[in-house]
Amino acid sequence: MRIAVAADSAGLALKNELRELLREDTRIAEVRDLGVPDTADDRAYPLLGIAAAETIAAGETDRAVLVCGTGIGMCISANKVPGVRATVAHDSYSAERSVKSNDCQVLTMGARVIGPELAKRIVTEWVGHSFDPRSTSASKVAHISEYERT
C-alpha cells in the first residue's frame, strides 16, 4: 500500500506524527509527504487535499491521510477529485465503515478535534481494513461512480 499524507499549517504537527507512524508500519510500501513542510508554508487546505487526491486518481498512491483544523476542508477538497472518496473520521467505527461500506481511499482528521494518540490508533486500524468488491456495498458505491461518469 502506498499512502500520501498532507496537511495545512493547522494540521502540520499531527500530519508529521502520522507520517512517522506510517513509515514504521511494515504494511506500507511508501509514504509520500506532500506538505506542508513547515508552518511558514501557508498554502490553503484545498491545494493540499486536491493534490493528494490527484495522486490516487493517477494511480500513484492507493490512499491518503489528510489533516487540517477540523478535517472538513480536506474532506470536501479531496472529494472533488473524480474517483476519490474521502471521509472525516475521528472514531474507529466510522473509519472502518468508510473503507468497508464506502470504499473510501482518503481519511481526513482535524488536529483541533482529535488528540495524536487516538488519531494514531485509528489510522493504524484503518490501514488494516479493505473493501470487498463482492460485498453488498459494492453496488451502492457503484452509483457514485456512475454519477461521476455521466
> CB 146 → ligand E4P: shortest distance, Å?
29
Half-sphere exposure at residue 55, Cβ-oriented, CA atoms within 13 angstroms: 23
- Catalytic choice (68, 75, 99, 119): 68
If binding means CB under 6 A, how many residues of this protein chain bind ligand E4P? 8
Per-position x/- string for 1-20, each x denoting binding to ligand E4P as judged by CB under 6 A, each - no binding = -------x-x----------
Quick check: 131 binds ligand E4P (CB under 6 A)? no
- Tell me the residue number closest to ligand E4P, measured at CB: 73
> CB 76 → ligand E4P: shortest distance, Å?
8
* The total number of residues written for the chain in this structure: 150
> CB 97 → ligand E4P: shortest distance, Å?
22
Distances (CA, A) of 90 to 61, 81, 96, 114: 23, 22, 11, 7
Q: For ligand E4P, which stretch binds (CB under 6 A), given 20-28, 66-74, 121-129, 140-148?
A: 66-74
Q: Cβ of 140: how many Cβ atoms within 10 Å?
A: 12
CA distance 147 to 44: 28
Residue 29: DSSP 8-state:
S
As annotated, the active-site residues are 68
